[in-house]
Structure 1
């Protein structure tokens, strides 16, 4: 009897068969490098695409039909530079008031907003300790609606540099510090190992000064060449990529020589910096929307004088580096710096990539699908609609290859086979 009871309990606990989802697509853009297909049927089981068939084939018995036959269906979009737990225009002093728990709740709200905007994967580059990791787990498990999250945790910074706590009394700085600064190659290597142990998917460093931090030390190189080399070598040895926030030409060049995988912003990149990126195999993530968000708040009392001075240095340069890097053959990948502007506006970056970086709509879409997936090292998992890939799928009205602004109005979103509402 005990055996029968045990067997019955096991049967009850056994997972139900995976639901079969059948999606009818009016037009299918499975890969921006391929022509748009006509009416197509996509089959999804257990969060993965299992088949793609021409025409609108009837679903098998027991399957659930999702009718997108009036829409253009394409892979879920990827934003490689966001800050889910932040919002634009907040006072820097909130850092001393708001808890990490509150930041997690803000991040949960913004994760849903971001997914509804069509972004099914994001790279969260800078959040309070463990916040990004908590959001990553919650969206992966379906506890909250949101995109797949690749998280760096806090950025690694120099003492007093961009990414360090500044603008407060010394005793407040001591309390607020995230233990994310380092000096010298040995200590910087140790920080990488600590972040790896904490659960970072990649390492972010602030190779140069930054626009929106309270430090008034300009936008030049902050880490030494030796420190950056130690960070990159240690990270790569642990299987982690390195994203480098960098504005100044020489800081970009030094980070590229050190072997970073991506340059974030790259505002003042000149020919030498771009050549170093090309030689080192670095990708540029230009975050053009960040400057839109900044421009919208300039002169309105949002930024301190130290920040406004740095803002005015950058605005005339926006887009120049992206166009030059693309012309030189450096990969340019979609990333927005969401949190500098309102989450959910991410897709406005597409129009900027077309207008400022000179991309075609197809190239801009590729930068947020296949190109972004390649940068993340996930090009066998996301970025395409293909059998075996994660069921990260969106749908829009109209033809985004003719009007890339169509991606600013997303009608349907699926992440890992889950519909986001």
Structure 2
């Protein structure tokens, strides 16, 4: 009995020491948006313990003597932003042939640079939508441990593709393809299930597939569907059985419809989505991630000798339809979640997506929700991120002005905290 008493006493002492060592941060802000769907609050005090929000109260409350105090003046404090489609390990305008030259390790170096830029732009969570085998996983670990400055990373790793499709290595001789192949192409339902399991084993947080042709790859087979319906169904069922969601790069309407029918969780780009495809998305609860900024980056580089003739032809097929799917999606009740395809344009310009969403028909409040509450729900992380509330992760940003009145305020983020850590 005496031994049990000593153990209990030691445990209580340890818990007391842990509580005493907890870091308290007190933030004063002139305005606070706790939830994109709720009214803006006036002057408020936010208390954070380590990496969690402890309380949010009206007015200016006294801070404990040992607390770190941050006074944001009249700035607006709001949840950290979420970008569901980025490529941290790449920069725009690179030659596709660099795949045969640059080692995967170089992607980590580039990714460290871009992770910091992305966080300072206000994006505290991103979904890394395709990289070399382990580069995004290394970045994920580095930012989680605080070794490098960057957002929380939900990482896919290499995308699943058909042989010769968007996402596969294309544009080289066949013997070079064999050397560069990362082993994530599949043919038939059985092999596609195998590749989902391989991605899961490697450490993927989400399965990325290229359900249709793509604009910037060297495959010249248009932008419609690539996988067969049985292959798509196998991918979705296998991923879901492992507790993983599936994100699908998809442009063509019938490819979008087939992916949504199979139960794919998000359609990224969705450029040519028509009412038939969108109605299936609505019925299945599939999210649209429009990536409108990607086309801004592409438009800026068109006709400058950056893209090959194969790519330029596909670019010209898409530009006239950009944004129309967002307008249709809103009318049909399909949830629109924020994603940009950063890496096709310069990292750090992610906030430009907000104005494009508003131009396509969303309100400023809906655009903010797309990058907070809606995106968090698409990740099944709505109890962790996307709002400011006690118990939530201390992910927050501050801007001047009111982003619900002028959404471009989100292009100029002035202060960032992620997981309770202030970005430098």
Does the TM-score normalized on the shorter chain lie above 0.5? yes
Q: Which of the residues 388, 394, 397 maps onto 1:394?
A: 397
Q: Which of the residues 70, 76, 90 maps onto 1:72?
A: 76
**Partners of 2:296 and 2:89 in 1: how far apart?**
20
Q: Which of the residues 364, 367, 381 maps onto 2:367?
A: 364
**Partners of 2:238 and 2:57 in 1: how far apart?**
45
Q: Deviations over 1:301-328 (max 9, x none)?
A: 0100000000000000000011101110
**Partners of 2:275 and 2:76 in 1: how far apart?**
39
Report the CA distance between 1:152 and its aligned residue.
0.7
Q: Do residues 278 (structure 1) and 282 (structure 2) align?
A: yes
Paired residues, what number?
410
Q: Residue in 2 aligned with 1:205?
A: 209
**Partners of 2:326 and 2:248 in 1: how far apart?**
16
Q: Residue in 2 aligned with 1:119?
A: 123
Unaligned runs of 5+ in 2: 1-9
Tell me the secondary structure at the aligned position of residue 103 of structure 1: helix
Tell me the secondary structure at the aligned position of residue 69 of structure 1: coil
Q: Which of the residues 409, 413, 420 maps onto 1:410?
A: 413
RMSD: 1.2
**Partners of 1:281 and 1:252 in 2: how far apart?**
13
Q: Residue in 2 aligned with 1:4?
A: none
Q: Residue in 2 aligned with 1:3?
A: none
* Within-5 A mapping of 1:179-198: 179-198=183-202
Report the CA distance between 1:280 and its aligned residue.
1.3
Q: Do residues 380 (structure 1) and 377 (structure 2) align?
A: no
Tell me the secondary structure at the aligned position of residue 414 of structure 2: strand
Q: Residue in 2 aligned with 1:54?
A: 58
Tell me the secondary structure at the aligned position of residue 75 of structure 2: strand
Tell me the secondary structure at the aligned position of residue 70 of structure 1: coil
Tell me the secondary structure at the aligned position of residue 300 of structure 2: helix
Q: Residue in 2 aligned with 1:419?
A: 422
Report the CA distance between 1:299 and its aligned residue.
0.2
Report the CA distance between 1:87 and its aligned residue.
0.4
**Partners of 1:69 and 1:43 in 2: how far apart?**
16
Q: Residue in 2 aligned with 1:287?
A: 291
| Segments ≥4 residues shifted beyond 6 Å | none
* Within-5 A mapping of 1:324-339: 324-339=328-343
Q: Deviations over 1:352-399 (max 9, x none)?
A: 00012x111111000000000000010000000100000001000011
Q: Residue in 2 aligned with 1:168?
A: 172
Q: Do residues 20 (structure 1) and 24 (structure 2) align?
A: yes
**Partners of 2:297 and 2:331 in 1: how far apart?**
26
Normalising by structure 1, what TM-score? 0.96
Q: Residue in 2 aligned with 1:156?
A: 160
**Partners of 1:56 and 1:303 in 2: how far apart?**
55
**Partners of 1:44 and 1:280 in 2: how far apart?**
38
